[in-house]
Chain A
Amino acid sequence: MTCNRRKVQGGQWLWPVLVMLLMPATAWAQQIEGQVVDADGVPLPGVNVVLPEVERGAVTDAEGRYVVALLPVGTHPVAFRFVGFETVRDTVTLAAGETVTLDVTLVPATLDVDEIVVRGAGQPAARLNKASLGVSTLDARALDAVRGQTLGETLEALPGVTTLSTGPSIAKPVVRGLHSQRVVLLNAGVPQEGQQWGGEHAPEIDPFAPAQIEVVKGAAGVEYGVGAIGGAIRVKPRDLPATPGIGGEVSFNAFSNNRQAAGSVLMEGGMKALPGVGWRLQGSVRKAGDAHAPEHVIGNSAFEEFDGTVAVGYHRDRLGLDAYFSHFGTELGLFSGAHIGNADDLRRAIARGEPAVDYDFSYDIDAPKQTVQHDLLTLRAHYQLPSDDWLEVQYGFQNNQRKEFDAHRRFGDPLDEPAFALTLRTQTLEAKLRTRPRGRFFGVAGVSGMNQANRNTETGYLIPNFRAMTGGAFARGTWISGPWTLEAGTRYDVRWMEAFPRENLSSGAFVQRTHTYQSLSGVVGAIWQFASTWSLAANVGTAWRPPGVNELYNFGVHHGTAQFEVGDPDLTGERSVNLDATLRHASARASAEVSVYANRIQDYIYQFPTLDETITIRGAFPTFEYQQDDAILRGIDGQVRYALTDWGTVQAVGSVVRGTNRTTDEPLIAMPSDRLTLSGIVTLPRWGVLGSSELDVSGTFVRKQTRVPENADYAPPPDGYALLGVGLRTEVQWGSVPLSLSLEVDNLLDTSYLSLLHRRSGPQRRVAPARPAGHAHPLIVSSVLQTTRAKDIS
């Protein structure tokens, strides 16, 4: 980068009369101007020039020229940002009446693997142009505040994201009312393939590992492929260190409610002998006992988790090579009181309202329980071609093993042998070419493939054995001019599946069934930065999803919900068309992102009770068949933050979703309740050994869901509730080691509550998509004592 400054004495400009009237003229008669070019001297139009402290900015014109006028006297930081180029930061000092010329040369950036984020993130102003779709981000700082909680709970702080939970240990993120197979979870760049069929299977992600989590809301099929009809969650590992030396970080959390302890140790470094090599080792442990509701212990809800990651990378000149391995292992008990036999049992349990047994607190994990192991290995290479375009290849291997142990087993100890065990192996391969910016355009094109095999053990049969292969090709382009960013893309995918269900679904010989699904995805989007601190984005996207193997071949009683579920091998794929408009604001004092959307899903697959009950020897069960109808999900969600003073900030995060079955004109089942969180954050003065400290108080208000289809659940939707939380975070310098400490109290008033999407469940079940729970299943996380952390030990 080069910056040439020339000073020109001002005074030759005409100022607007209004400003003259309001301000002393000399205070405002200053400006900066200049030209932005690339390394070859070609002017760059559309570059954002931002002076964040004074909330002023401009965009370069076709000749790369800009003027930022009416600036106050003083020294101001200024940043030049343009997609595909390194951001240039500088400061200008303006004397009264002065015009400073600041010419800037931008050099191409090492492009991030980011799929959807068009321009660099981090700085407030960059958020204005980050995506034409609604995107919410939890950065490292926000993640640190909630480390130790499950991924689902962590994401619940984001607008448009709610949680589907089954007991304290299983929480699944719901993005704008959609989850599981309708949301793609990307971990270290690879689509996570676990046993995600059921709503009661949590994503296999170590909450200590990521540096950033991003939730992309709305159909994003072009970027994320088959399944991303509701959006995508991107879990990004930390970047490897680029410089020699060793650093580390130690975290420790304690949770009072379930007497949970969680800790993580991280070491990372670069090598002097091998410049460009970076490495990291990280391991974390969690051990939790039974959770408490205000009136009772939730029996057998204890769990433990052991996770680890190893990462090695080499980044030099034009070549980057990365290897990343992670292991996730958990063993979790399932609430024994949720183990029920038939529909009558469930009705009685709901009528009673609380567990039949008064459980004692314990760390023991007894049957019924699950164990899940998930291993992920990814290898990635990226290389900058002599033409300066980037070539990337990424390979991923995942092995997911799930075992479910029943509450009891005939002729033996239930813990000896799982009721069923599944092994899902997935390989993914993706190759893509990213162009360097050419004029106002840059793009990416690539191919991807997935190969997957699911196997059952001998004992039981939950999801039939199957093999699936997916192949796709995609291309996307972005064009930037002045305040406008336009993007368009398309993708084509084919999925072939071979499954081995039983002949008449419940019994008989295994038969081979093959299915082939194929379709197009597409996206068109635009961002208009109509003022230096405001932008408006619109996005139309379409994505599709083939029916899941559970939806095709499910047959039997789902014990958690006492439904007799019948799959349908003739289901067709779902297609969504999503319309999204997002207004963004970013200035030194305030930031906001508010989206409205409508996501129409054709052939939406859902379960609905038929009139006939299914009679079994265990009793009668309502029969639920999979059906397909046209559905539409509409809503608004957003986050607004405003700094009242230097030390006080207020924030509001809210989500509203309305799901409607267009065929029957009834509400969709299991839609999240309206939700609003209001927080006040106070920055405390430094005091004694305490560095910067922050106190926040937040109230979360959840409205009762009144839009539910008739006769589709055993119990009416639970009442709304309000929760109060308090958090205190501070930093202490301990020798040369900075420590950050925090104390969080969730649900300070110990309110007993039940979310519509909290569900009861037994492990003996077959799989089912989301269903709201009827039984009281309050989940209270009280005081969370958190984190001692050291950085830069070396």
Chain B
Amino acid sequence: MTPITKTLTYIAGLALFAFTLAACDSTEPDDDGAGEGELITRVVLTLEGAGETVTATADDPDGDGVDIQIETLTLTPGTVYNGSVEVYNDLADEPAEQDITAEIEEEDDEHQFFYTVEGFGDAVRVDITDFDDNELPVGLAFQVNVTDAASGSGTLNVVLSHYDDEPKNGVDRSDETDIDVTFPVEIAP
């Protein structure tokens, strides 16, 4: 072999060696449950009134739409409920990061809940009772007023808007919806 072909063979051999060497290590991931950073998997409504507590949960245990379960909220006519909402990410690694309610409370000037009732006319009303430093509604606490006239079935839509660049004005939803769940509502006679 001439020195030139020797050099070439050497270079080719080296390249082939580097090529095959890297082919052997695995890309298998560690099963650490790494997941979506901003996921919400569970929303719990708790309504207290007339000496009883009613809850309804929307639960999406594996995240993002597979097997989502939304419970029906059963309400009694002629009752004023004090409501609260709790938000969880059950897929978060750290238990401290599973409860998102506290974070919303902390950043209440960047969040607002919107409650919309349908199917009962004016017979069921929801009013937000907590406010941020700018006197704008937050909605972690609210009041549900079920009048005597309420009957049948309908829905309660719960929306959580996140205000990042857009200013929160207490009226408009933002383009960044963190929660948008519709609970079926039954009025128990």
Please determine whether chains A and B interact with each other in the same assembly: yes
* A contact set with B: CB distance below 8 Å: 299, 318-319, 321, 336-337, 339-342, 344-346, 348-349, 356-357, 359, 379, 381, 383, 391, 393, 395, 397, 406-411, 419-420, 425, 427, 429, 431, 449, 451, 453-456, 458-461, 464-467, 469, 498, 500, 504, 506-510, 512, 555-557, 564, 614-621, 764
Find out whether the CB atom of A506 lies under 8 angstroms from the CB atom of B175: no
B74, CB-defined interface residue at 8 Å: no
User: A451 touching B23 by the CB < 8 A rule?
Assistant: yes
Chain A residues whose C-beta falls within 8 Å of the C-beta of B180 in the assembled complex: 341-342, 344, 617-620
**How far, in Å, is B163 (CB) from chain A's closest CB?**
10
Cα separation A658 to B40 with both chains bound (whole Å) = 43
Asked whether B35 lies within 8 Å of A507 as measured between CB atoms, the reply is: yes
| A237 and B100 alpha carbons, distance in the complex (Å) | 52
Across the interface, A345 reaches (CB within 8 A) one of B4, B165, B177, B179, namely: B177
A459 to B38, Cβ gap below 8 A? no
List, in ascending order, chain A residues with CB within 8 A of B41's CB.
617
Chain A residues near B8 (CB-CB < 8 A): 319, 381, 383, 391, 393
> In the complex, are the beta carbons of B40 and A348 less than 8 A apart?
no
Note all chain A residues with C-beta closer than 8 A to B171.
none
How many B residues face the partner with a CB closer than 8 A? 60
Q: Smallest Cβ distance from A752 to chain B, in angstroms?
A: 21
**A500 CB contact (under 8 Å) in B28, B65, B89, B162:** B28
Would A449 and B177 be within 8 Å (CB), given that A356-B166, A510-B28 are in contact?
A: no
Question: B178 to chain A: which residues have CB within 8 Å?
Answer: 341, 618
Give every chain B residue within 8 A of A616 (Cβ-Cβ).
60, 64-65, 68
- A504 touching B62 by the CB < 8 A rule? yes
| Nearest B residue (CB) for A384 | B4
Q: How far is the CA of A465 from the CA of B180 in the complex (A)?
A: 32
The residue that B27 contacts in the complex, of A340, A420, A455, with Cβ under 8 A, is: A455
Beta-carbon contact of A615 and B66 below 8 Å: no
20 of the cross-chain contacts (CB-CB < 8 Å) are A319-B4, A319-B8, A339-B164, A348-B173, A381-B7, A381-B12, A411-B97, A427-B22, A451-B20, A451-B22, A456-B34, A459-B34, A461-B35, A507-B35, A512-B28, A564-B65, A618-B178, A619-B181, A621-B65, A764-B37
Interface presence of B149 (CB below 8 A): no
Chain A contacts for B12, CB-based, 8 A: 381, 393, 431
Complexed CA–CA distance, A427 and B23 (Å): 9
Known contacts A391-B8, A500-B27; is A764 also within 8 Å of B177 by CB?
no
Chain B contacts of A614 at CB under 8 A? 65
Q: Main SS of the interface on chain B?
A: loop
Picked from B22, B28, B58, the residue with its CB within 8 Å of the CB of A465 is B28
Complex interface: chain B residues within 8 A of A346 (CB):
175
Which residue on chain A has the smallest CB distance to residue B42?
A617
How many angstroms from the CA of A339 to the CA of B174 in the assembled complex?
Answer: 10
Q: In whole angstroms, how far apart are the Cα atoms of A777 and B27 in the complex?
A: 38
From B15, B62, B165, B167, contact of A506 by CB (8 A): B62
Would you list the 5 A-B pairs with minimal beta carbon distance, nearest first?
A: A619-B180, A341-B177, A507-B62, A395-B15, A616-B65
Query: Are the CB atoms of B165 and A460 closer together than 8 Å?
Result: no
Once A506-B62, A564-B65, A617-B179 are accepted as A-B contacts, the answer to whether A393 and B22 lie under 8 Å apart by CB is no
Residues 5-53 of B contacting A (Cβ, < 8 Å): 5, 7-8, 11-12, 15-16, 18-20, 22-23, 25-32, 34-38, 40-43
User: Is B40 a contact partner of A618 (Cβ separation < 8 A)?
Assistant: yes
Say yes or no for B103: interface residue by CB 8 A criterion. Answer: yes
Closest residue of chain A to B26, judged by CB? Answer: A467
Since A340-B176, A393-B11 are in contact, a sample of 16 more A-B pairs with Cβ atoms closer than 8 Å, ordered by chain A residue number, is A319-B7, A339-B176, A356-B175, A357-B165, A383-B5, A431-B12, A461-B34, A464-B29, A467-B26, A556-B36, A564-B65, A616-B65, A617-B181, A618-B40, A618-B179, A619-B181
Q: B135-189: which residues lie under 8 A (CB-CB) from chain A?
A: 159, 161-162, 164-167, 173-181
CB pair B37 A410 closer than 8 Å: yes
CA distance A507 to B63 in the complex (A): 7
Within the complex, what minimum Cβ distance (angstroms) separates B37 from chain A? 5
Does B75 make an interface contact (CB < 8 A)?
no
Query: Which chain A positions have C-beta within 8 A of B29?
Result: 455-456, 464-465, 500, 510
